[in-house]
Structure 1
Amino acid sequence: MTEPAQTDATPAPVSAASVRHFRYYDIVMAAFVAILLLSNIIGASKPSYIPLPDGSQWAFGAGVLFFPISYIIGDVLTEVYGYARARRVIWTGFAALAFMAFMAWVVVSLPAAEGWPGQESYEFVFGNSWRIVIASMLAFWVGEFANSYVLARMKIWTGGRFLWMRTIGSTVVGQGLDSLIFYPLAFYGLAGWPPGQLMQVVLSQWLIKTLWEAALTPVTYVVVGTLKRREGVDVYDEGTDFSPFKAKV
């Protein structure tokens, strides 16, 4: 894969601390949080499968079909706006996950009105154990920060070239940690999740997420290029404090 040629319209690199206001940053943040919450609500707990030619099945988590989009948006955030602003979005997503878990617990715990037939189904869909909730939040936190850190560092090392290498490389690290943390912590030892299937799901999640990132690389190039031109910046994280616990941009 060749790197697109630079043009006169390409904005000059600037430091992360020198830029304060952006036109599309809030929109990208909203998209990130929305996909994060929806993928956790709808698909995280359901194992599905792909039939193999020998008649066996290859298991994967259904949430893998959409959750990787949050990582792609995370790549866009770090590439365009820098690690410090991506860090703020990651913490926003983390807070949203925490509130979603609390809200689900409260709503599921409330007594159902007499005669309402949906309580059992409601508990099955939204009544995740705190083990699953904690595993999901920890995996998200570690994976997203690892993804953003690797991409930001690689951008400095490569001088801003080879975006495809940086997005895929950061995804290999971030999504790998996410899958390796979430599924064993959430489901190891539970009925319906034998160890062999669990490892299949972990490996499938890692592979499919990475392939998703690679397949959507052309889209990433278009989005990153468009945002850089319209925002008029190309942020490099030289001198950035990469601690995930810093609030300063």
Structure 2
Amino acid sequence: MSSQATSPKPAARFASRGSTRFDILLALFCVVLIVSNIAATKSIEIGAGSFNLGSLQIWPVVTDGGAILFPLAYILGDVISEVYGFAAARRAVLVGFAAALMAAVTFWLVERAPAASFYENQEAFASVAGPVAQVVVASVAGYVAGQLLNSWVLVRMKERTREKGLIGRLAASTGVGELADTVLFCAIAASAIGIDSLGVFGNYVVVGVLYKVAVEFAVMPVTVAVIAWLKRRETTY
């Protein structure tokens, strides 16, 4: 009885990162990270009154200014991972880390530089820029762990399913990445934005995860469309 040899599956396809489109995505990635770190120094509370479930604060909702823009970092990370692969996503993470670190050092030096005799906003500047270094440490810890997990899960799933199942791997990778990112970020940044109770911290973490994942799911049709557009136009894909 003869056995028929099965041909191996073709490798998952990725485009070369030597592309101006990749450069644009990388630049957007870094800008989103830096702006989010600065915005995250402001804590935000939405809702009036108070409702707790045991020690966990359910209402009002607590978040920070970084939540407005930061979900876009994961959308860009999904696009880079799906089109350009894990090595390209890792490079984006490292470049973003360097950019965030440069911003934090710059704010730290400016805050400590002697203010001009006519400058009246030193205290206001310090109150906003002062926590940036702690927020950057929190952001980098969460961002590196979350983005690398996000990219790793997405690329590993793509190696199994090839071009099929894009929505499934976007959803799975986002859930894993955002959970790791949010827990690490909140644990380190909470004191920088004034969170000093376990109940409020729990609200901060839960709201952060649910909100970011919800945003990713809401814009998933746009993410899928951008990925499809890039795949059609990257000649190396």
Amino acid at match of 1:226: W
Are residue 22 (structure 1) and residue 19 (structure 2) matched? yes
Per the TM alignment, residue 92 of structure 1 is displaced from its structure 2 partner at its CA by 0.3
1:171-206 CA-to-partner distances (Å, cap 9, x unmatched) read: 111111111001112225985432111111111111
**Number of aligned positions between the proteins:** 221
Other-structure match for 1:49 = 45
Amino acid at match of 1:118: N
Q: Higher relative CO (CA 8 A, sep ≥ 6), structure 1 or 2?
A: 1
Which shifted more, 44-53 or 195-204?
44-53
3-state DSSP class of the match of 1:104?
A: helix
Partners of 1:169 and 1:206 lie apart in 2 by 13
Other-structure match for 2:201 = 198
Amino acid at match of 1:27: I
Which shifted more, 183-192 or 98-107?
183-192
Are residue 225 (structure 1) and residue 228 (structure 2) matched? yes
Are residue 147 (structure 1) and residue 144 (structure 2) matched? no
Are residue 65 (structure 1) and residue 62 (structure 2) matched? no
Greater fraction of residues in helix: 2
1:195-222 CA-to-partner distances (Å, cap 9, x unmatched) read: 1111111111110110111000110011
3-state DSSP class of the match of 1:24?
A: helix
Percent identical among aligned pairs is 35
Question: Does the 8 A contact of 2:17 with 2:88 survive in 1?
Answer: no
Are residue 214 (structure 1) and residue 217 (structure 2) matched? yes
Are residue 173 (structure 1) and residue 170 (structure 2) matched? no
Q: In the TM superposition, what are the counterparts of 1:120-139 in structure 2 within 5 Å?
A: 120-128=123-131, 130-139=133-142
Which of 1 and 2 has greater Rg?
A: 2
Question: Does the 8 A contact of 1:146 with 1:170 survive in 2?
Answer: yes
Taking structure 2 as the reference length, the TM-score comes to 0.85
Q: Which runs of 5+ in 1 are unaligned?
A: 1-11, 235-249
Other-structure match for 1:100 = 103
1:4-47 CA-to-partner distances (Å, cap 9, x unmatched) read: xxxxxxxx97655x8463231101111111111111112x1222
| Aligned CA-pair RMSD | 2.3
Distance 1:154 1:190, change over 3 A: same
Which shifted more, 71-80 or 21-30?
21-30
Question: Does the 8 A contact of 1:80 with 1:233 survive in 2?
Answer: no
Are residue 157 (structure 1) and residue 160 (structure 2) matched? yes
Distance 1:20 1:118, change over 3 A: closer
Other-structure match for 1:237 = none
Question: Does the 8 A contact of 1:13 with 1:233 survive in 2?
Answer: no
Equivalent residue for 2:86, pick from 79, 83, 88: 83
Q: Which runs of 5+ in 2 are unaligned?
A: 1-9, 52-58
